[in-house]
Amino acid sequence: MDYRKLGHSGAIVTAYCLGTMTFGAEADEASSHKLLDDYFAWGGNFIDTADVYSAGKSEEIIGRWLKARPSEAKQAVIATKGRFPMGSGPNDIGLSRRHLNQALDASLVRLGVEHIDLYQMHAWDALTPIEETLRFLDDAVSAGKIGYYGFSNYVGWQIAKAAEIAKARGYTRPVTLQPQYNLLVRDIELEIVAACQDAGMGLLPWSPLGGGWLTGKYRRDQTPTGATRLGENPSRGMESYAQRNAQERTWAIIETVEAIAKARGVSMAQVALAWTAARPAVTSVILGARTSEQLADNLAAAKLLLSEEEMTKLSDVSQPHVADYPYGAGGTNQRHRKIEGGR
């Protein structure tokens, strides 16, 4: 079992977190509870959800599971999010004190708890002063409603600004960022990872399997069919599928993952997950399994330790394409990376 600190906090979580976006949508309550049972039987202790997942149903399903299993509930580290609309009113959205106060209280009710371990801002809100949001979060910590807070889908300057304002004003500081991060999507390494490291924040990567691409279920120039999200609903995401399918980088990454998986006798998903879990600043990788079989295969990645050579192969083939200044050729950031890498 690999335990890690939740960012710069003293809380301890497992290196793989159970994501619950499918609860109440692609997974009914019985299936969702089975996934939670399997995850905790494996030894996991970290659950991630959000108020907008299935319009609150995900939190409600988790809440009923926690109530029925008090011993697991005592060990569970619960993370949820607020920001997006849960109603039609003008104040039913955003990161204002007014909305977050209602959103947090509603999440506490749905989860059936008095305290949420990690409360995350689901996305940046350009209309609300960051000082207002940070003061609310500091007050929520002081009131005992939340233990820590973090962000999701923030970019580098937003992270740096929030962290510095919190530090300057003596507010509780953010501990985590939840970004999309996987072998196919690595642009957060340009500035976002560095911003998190500077602030002592841990990464909670979502979509670590690239929407299923890194499991090998899609093949070059073949229209998705069968038991895949695109196969079951071809109208959803076909434009982005076509764009990724047309990139040689995509298939070079997939072929490298597949070669390592075959050589090690493991699944492609396990290789992709093990790479992400081993990246700098990563605290816990969020798994979004739809079935117990998928979850079991994904959790097996915890036993896979990639060699330095395998990590290098995967990192080299998946380097994000940055053509020019300031991150690409001739850019100061690129030169600094070369200098630091040579030390």
- pLDDT at position 325 is 82
Q: How confident is the model at residue 228 (pLDDT cuts 50, 70, 90)?
A: low
In this predicted structure, the answer to whether residue 162 has a pLDDT above a threshold of 50 is yes
Q: How confident is the model at residue 167 (pLDDT cuts 50, 70, 90)?
A: very high
The phi, psi pair for 216, rounded to 5°, reads 90, 10
- pLDDT at position 334 is 54
Q: Average of pLDDT values for 81-90?
A: 95
- pLDDT at position 103 is 98
In this predicted structure, the answer to whether residue 233 has a pLDDT above a threshold of 60 is no
CB 212 within 8 A of CB 155: no
d(CA 182, CA 18): 17
Instruction: Report the half-sphere exposure of 331 (CA within 13 A, side-chain side).
Output: 12
d(CA 95, CA 131): 10
Q: Average of pLDDT values for 20-34?
A: 96
d(CA 275, CA 316): 12
Structure confidence by residue, pLDDT tens digits, 272-293: 999 999 999 999 999 998 999 9
Q: How confident is the model at residue 343 (pLDDT cuts 50, 70, 90)?
A: very low
- pLDDT at position 225 is 63
Cβ-based neighbours of 170, under 8 Å, separated by 6 or more: none
Burial class (CB in 10 A: 0-12, 13-18, 19+), 140: buried
d(CA 51, CA 29): 16
Query: Does the active-site annotation cover 53?
Result: yes
Q: How confident is the model at residue 335 (pLDDT cuts 50, 70, 90)?
A: very low
In this predicted structure, the answer to whether residue 46 has a pLDDT above a threshold of 70 is yes
CB 212 within 8 A of CB 225: no
CB 230 within 8 A of CB 240: no
* Identified catalytic residue from 16, 39, 53, 218: 53
- pLDDT at position 109 is 98
In this predicted structure, the answer to whether residue 226 has a pLDDT above a threshold of 70 is no
In this predicted structure, the answer to whether residue 339 has a pLDDT above a threshold of 50 is no
Q: Around Cβ 258, how many Cβ atoms within 10 Å?
A: 15
pLDDT above 90 covers a percentage of the chain that reads: 83
- pLDDT at position 242 is 79
Structure confidence by residue, pLDDT tens digits, 186-209: 999 999 999 999 999 999 999 999
More confident: 232 or 170: 170
CATH superfamily name and code, 3-213+267-341 = NADP-dependent oxidoreductase domain (3.20.20.100)
Domain boundaries, the chain: 3-213+267-341
Q: How confident is the model at residue 326 (pLDDT cuts 50, 70, 90)?
A: confident
Q: Token digits for 32?
A: 């969702």
Structure confidence by residue, pLDDT tens digits, 87-135: 999 999 999 999 999 999 999 999 999 999 999 999 999 999 999 999 9
Q: Token digits for 96?
A: 């204002």
Q: Average of pLDDT values for 19-32?
A: 96
Between the alpha carbon of residue 44 and those of residues 11, 187, 297, 326, the distances in Å are 14, 29, 14, 41
pTM for this prediction: 0.91
- pLDDT at position 229 is 54
Lowest mean pLDDT among 42-51, 78-87, 225-234: 225-234
The phi, psi pair for 228, rounded to 5°, reads -130, 160
